[in-house]
Chains A and B, each alone.
Chain A
């Protein structure tokens, strides 16, 4: 099992450019999430998905789009990149576990994005 994989590891964008951050999980998890981590701050939820074809906004969705066409993949799209989107982006996945009140999220290694 590779777990959660993210590409690229690093990227520098110019203002106004667009890009897609890739996220793939091989654990057959229903739930997937995108977070951003700003320096000295905790992670903030951008978007999440409860299954293929179903996505919803998190705390900081503006400037981003997502899609979930398969169970495995959950790409994050940045349109018109802005310096405020400079951050480290983490993808995570989790599965329903009945009866225990939580489900553990498994994180990818992150993508460090700089917008200049």
Chain B
């Protein structure tokens, strides 16, 4: 079955540092890939997505590229801020327009110190 593996957390960085959170996946076919973010006390929000190979998703300075050859979707940001402190989830779903059963990684807790 489909699965997602994220780098182990927690991750602690200083403000303006470069961020990478690794994500690899196992799937049959060609899934859609997502990064969700969960701020303290809130539900998950979609951060960015990519629906086919070599697509780059981007939002709020974060980027991730759908790499089919390495089955990866690593999240990057060039200069993190304190407000980026949150838990980040990589996820996938089968492509299509119907109900999407998301498969999540275990999440990576990111803390940014001023």
Q: Which chain A residues have a beta carbon within 8 Å of chain B's beta carbons?
A: 4, 31, 33, 35, 40-45, 48-50, 58-59, 90, 92, 94, 96-105, 107-110
Contacts and interface: CB of A to CB of B under 8 A. Distances in A.
Given A42-B6, A42-B106, A107-B43, 20 more contacts: A4-B43, A33-B99, A40-B106, A42-B103, A43-B44, A43-B89, A45-B101, A92-B43, A94-B100, A98-B97, A101-B51, A101-B96, A101-B97, A102-B34, A102-B100, A104-B49, A107-B44, A109-B41, A109-B42, A109-B43
Contacts of B34: 102
Contacts of B114: none
A45 B104 CA distance: 9
Contact of A105 (B51, B97, B102): B102
B49 A102 contact: yes
A45 B89 CA distance: 15
Interface of B: 4, 6, 32, 34, 41-46, 49, 51-52, 89, 91, 93, 95-107
A49 B100 CA distance: 10
Given A45-B101, A101-B51, A110 B43 contact: yes
A103 B101 contact: no
B106 A102 contact: no
B54 to A, nearest CB: 14
B62 to A, nearest CB: 16
16 contacts: A4-B43, A35-B102, A42-B91, A42-B103, A42-B107, A45-B102, A50-B99, A59-B101, A99-B97, A104-B49, A105-B44, A105-B46, A107-B43, A107-B45, A108-B43, A109-B43
Contacts of A43: 44, 89, 102, 104
B99 A41 contact: no
Contacts of B95: 101-102
Contacts of B41: 109
Contact of A102 (B32, B42, B43, B104): B32
